[in-house]
Amino acid sequence: MSAYKIEMKLLSEAIFGSGYSIPGSVDLEVVCDDNGLPFMKAKTFKGNLREAMEGSAKLLGEDYEKKVEQLLGKGESGVESWKNLKFSDCMIQKNTREYIELAIKTRKITASEVKDALTSIRSFTSIDDDGSSKKGSLRQYRVINKGLVFEVDVDCERILSEEELSLLAISIKSLRHIGMMRTRGKGRISCRLMLEENGKYKDITDLYVKKILEGGWD
C-alpha cells in the first residue's frame, strides 16, 4: 500500500485523449484499459501536476522553486531519481475498479458495456468569425462522465520534509483542470492529498496547505 494517494473527482466531463479515432464512430477516443475503464497515464498526470506545482512554487519563492525538482525530478535524474516521487496511472478508485473487474471476470458485464456506462459521446463544432458553425467542422469526442472518482498512488523511497509535503498539498489543491478541451468546460476537477495510516487513508490537504501559508514548521 502506498504511503500517499491523490484523490481526484471529476466536477465536469473530462477527456483523457488517446489520440486515436474510430472510423464511423468517434473522432477522438479516451484512454481505456482492457476492462473498459477510462484512465490517465502516469506521465500525463505528472505533467499536469508539475505545471500546477511550478505555478505554486513561483508564488512561494525561490526556495520552493528548488523543491519542484527535488519532488518531480528534471529530465534524466539518473542516480538521483530514487529521491523523486513515483506516480501510478490515474485510475478509477480501487473499490469501484475491483467490483467492475469481478463483474467482467464472472461475465455479468462486458468491457464494452463498462465503457458505454462510464463515458458519453459529445458533438463539437468550430465557430466562424460571424458566429456560425464552420462547414465540415463537426466532430464527435468521447468524454468521461462527471462525478467519477480517480486516484493516483504516490511513492517515494525517502521521507518527505514538512515543506515538501506542503508544496505537494497546495499544488494538488490548485490543480483545477485536467485533460483536453478545458476551454470548453471539460476536465474540471477537485483533488486531495491522502496519507495512509493504519491501513486507512485520511485527507491531509488542508492541514499542509495551512502550514505552508502560515509557515508553521514545528
- Domain map of the chain by residue range? 4-214
C-alpha–C-alpha distance, residues 64 and 103, integer Å: 46
Residues sharing a CB contact under 8 Å with residue 20, sequence separation 6 or more, in sequence order: 28, 29
What pLDDT is recorded for position 46? 95
- Cell numbers linked to 180: 483536453
C-alpha–C-alpha distance, residues 76 and 80, integer Å: 9
Contact 183, 134 (CB under 8 A): no
What pLDDT is recorded for position 99? 96
What pLDDT is recorded for position 149? 97
What pLDDT is recorded for position 121? 93
CA geometry: angle 113, 40, 69, nearest 5 deg = 170
What pLDDT is recorded for position 214? 80
Q: How far is CA 32 from its chain centroid?
A: 14
What pLDDT is recorded for position 102? 97
What pLDDT is recorded for position 179? 92
Distance (Å) of CA 215 to CA 58, 69, 129, 160, 203: 16, 21, 50, 17, 20
Residues sharing a CB contact under 8 Å with residue 84, sequence separation 6 or more, in sequence order: 70, 71, 72, 73, 77, 156
- Cell numbers linked to 85: 516521487
- Cell numbers linked to 174: 490548485
What pLDDT is recorded for position 25? 67
| Segments of the chain scoring below 70 in pLDDT | 1-2, 18-25, 75-80, 126-137, 216-218
What pLDDT is recorded for position 109? 96
What pLDDT is recorded for position 78? 58
